[in-house]
A and B are shown apart, each in its own frame.
Chain A
């Protein structure tokens, strides 16, 4: 594949912006969490683009793939904790809307 690096980076930027839009506009907690996953994947794509560029310039560099693996681990942790919070919220309020937890008083 001879696609220039900036196209990979541009795709990552577009995906990240879409994730930011979903994160700030949606009120459904599940969709907010999926938007976060989308942003993490955009970061992964940036790591991949950088690793590809540096590997092509001289010797294989594995720092990018290693960071991608760490990001995947962090994404798994975030999904598990976030979904446990969703379940706890649903048990108390019978909803997953962010509007229901805008106030923390009860």
Chain B
């Protein structure tokens, strides 16, 4: 029963991932990615990672995807993709480049699938099934202890990364007015 739920969630994840790639409208693409993340959260929950499922919904779905949607709405890109030369077919408007990309993707995917399926018998699958502790496999006390002891250096590096990204985003999104590089903003209200 639980296994059936996993396969349903996996099917939904793959279908919505295909929707992400094939959607012509960026809004549809972002929303399918949101559904893909939701089904991945279901899979994390089934695998015993409750905290990761919550992170997936809160941070990925709640913050990152809303940021994407915010930018799409801000730039009013909802119906813009027909101006990008993708109106006929989002994948094959440029056959040479798209064919190369698809070939890379198919080669990568099939190689890793073959490797996984051939190497599966070397995985030491547990004999007693996947017995799961009551608090799940990512209990917060153990997670926090590892995060602030063994992984304290990566933790600090992540904080520096976030800080530099915040500064960089401010610099990038700031309107360049006096350097003569930016084109004259036409019809824009200046505060």
Contacts and interface: CB of A to CB of B under 8 A. Distances in A.
A68 B102 contact: no
A55 B129 CA distance: 12
Nearest to A100: B84
A24 B14 CA distance: 18
Please classify the interface of chain B as helix (H, G, I), strand (E, B), loop, or mixed, using the class held by over half of its residues. helix
Contacts, number: 266
Nearest to B23: A31
Contact of B75 (A63, A69, A86): A86
A25 B97 contact: yes
Contacts of B161: 73-74, 77
Contact of B20 (A17, A22, A53): A22
B58 to A, nearest CB: 10
A86 B119 CA distance: 41
B85 A37 contact: no
Contacts of B102: 21, 24-25
Contacts of A17: 105-106, 108-110, 112
B124 A65 contact: no
